Amino acid sequence: MAIWDKNSSNIEQQQIPYIRKKSNKRVFISASFTTLVTLSGGIYGCAEQKISEPQAIEESIKTPQLVADPTWEHVEIKPLSGHAEGIWSVAINREQNLFATASEDKTIKLWNLETGELINTLKGHDRAVLSVSFSPDGKQLASSSKDGIIKVWNVQTQTLIRTVDANPENSKAVRSVVYSPDGMKIVNSSWDNTIKIWNAKTGELIHTLTGHTKGVFAVAVSPDSQTIASVSQDKTIKIWNLETGELIKTIEGHTDNVRTVAFSPDNTILATGSVDKTIKLWNTKTYELINTLSGHSKYINSVAFSANGKTLVSAAEDKTIALWNVADGKRIRTLDGSLAGVNSVAFADPRTIVSGSAAGDDKARVWSDRD
């Protein structure tokens, strides 16, 4: 046992067991602990403890995991063909290990996330499908279309549950659709300049939100299901109360159409992407600008945060995907491979990204970090 005074800086770094996940199996790396004990008079002691492998694995599961952040230096790309035209939207279902793609070809396709196998094709929309979103429990899928319709599907049976005419008066396209994280509401944005809030269980309309002066590209709901963020062709971002429909704040800063929006998992940052080729990060408490991320050569179509909020991924019309360090705004890596603009991107897990590309490519891709 080593002993030192608490005021001394001569403290050796602790060794803790490390568990690495590979092929869905836990691999034992080290079974050596350094145990810190308190002695009398403010003196500390350190003793190494040897434990058996099963015990080490059990104990290490309780220990915070020291898993390195992905570097994306070595990337495996799995292109998936099946759609006849470009893909507008992708959505991840972690509960059932699948993802969905929405296409200009009027269909939705369900894919196995691990193998890339096509599971089924859902048909029912009369025009291009622009957006898809899974319910938080993974049991339902909502889709929206240029036909002005929202459809809700049973993921298990892959059958239609409900059809909602979102724009019965003008048949304007429903540009995006998303479930609230609590699963209670569905929110959509439309080319008629409005946002609508629906009861996810009954399909009844709760609120119609007006305030944007041009078409609304996208909406996102905060992790606590309290607020909506909407982005529009009018170059603004609007923050709304999900329960009451009240407008809370209008944010200005982009110099062109704002096309995409996402909340960080801890609800502290709002990310927006624009035709002005920039991504902006906003403080969700003060709505002040935190940082502007530049690097894409054409407009931004999609942004998404990793589960831990450390990394932001963006997809752009320049045919690339970029990964950004949220803390300092620096670009980590640029992923090439699409033959056309990338319309949508999402994290499946910290080391896996799914994307969908526009007409001229028409493919979904699964990008996996192999470091």
- At 278, which CATH number? 2.130.10.10
| Cα–Cα distance for residue pair 256/207, rounded to 1 Å | 28
The predicted structure's pLDDT at residue 67: 55
**Which of 62, 85, 107 delimits the end of a domain?**
62
The helix (run of H) or strand (run of E) holding residue 28 is strand 25-28
C-alpha to C-alpha distances, 276 to 219, 232, 343, nearest whole angstrom: 19, 13, 16
Q: Residue 317 domain-assigned?
A: yes
118 and 257 share one domain: yes
Domain count along the chain? 2
Q: Which residues pair with 265 in a beta bridge?
A: none
CA dihedral 171, 172, 177, 180 (to 10 degrees): -80
254 and 317 share one domain: yes
The predicted structure's pLDDT at residue 13: 39
Q: Residue 68 domain-assigned?
A: no
Q: Residue 70 domain-assigned?
A: no
170 and 291 share one domain: yes
CA dihedral 274, 257, 359, 194 (to 10 degrees): 120
Q: Residue 67 domain-assigned?
A: no
| Cα–Cα distance for residue pair 236/219, rounded to 1 Å | 12
**Which of 62, 84, 105 delimits the end of a domain?**
62
211 and 265 share one domain: yes
The predicted structure's pLDDT at residue 168: 83
Residues with Cβ within 8 Å of residue 58, at least 6 apart in sequence:
none
For residue 234, the enclosing domain spans: 75-369
Structure tokens at 192: 């008629």
Phi, psi of 55 (to 5 degrees): -65, -40
C-alpha to C-alpha distances, 144 to 102, 111, 193, nearest whole angstrom: 9, 19, 16
352 and 311 share one domain: yes
The predicted structure's pLDDT at residue 371: 75
Residues of the chain with pLDDT under 70: 1-68
123 and 219 share one domain: yes
**C-alpha angle 252-248-328 in degrees, rounded to nearest 5:** 50
Q: Which residues pair with 95 in a beta bridge?
A: none
The helix (run of H) or strand (run of E) holding residue 58 is helix 53-62
47 and 95 share one domain: no
172 and 241 share one domain: yes
54 and 87 share one domain: no
The helix (run of H) or strand (run of E) holding residue 55 is helix 53-62
Residue 26's Cβ-side half-sphere holds a number of Cα atoms within 13 Å equal to 14
208 and 289 share one domain: yes
Assign 300 to helix, strand or coil.
strand
194 and 336 share one domain: yes
The predicted structure's pLDDT at residue 189: 98
The predicted structure's pLDDT at residue 22: 38
188 and 131 share one domain: yes
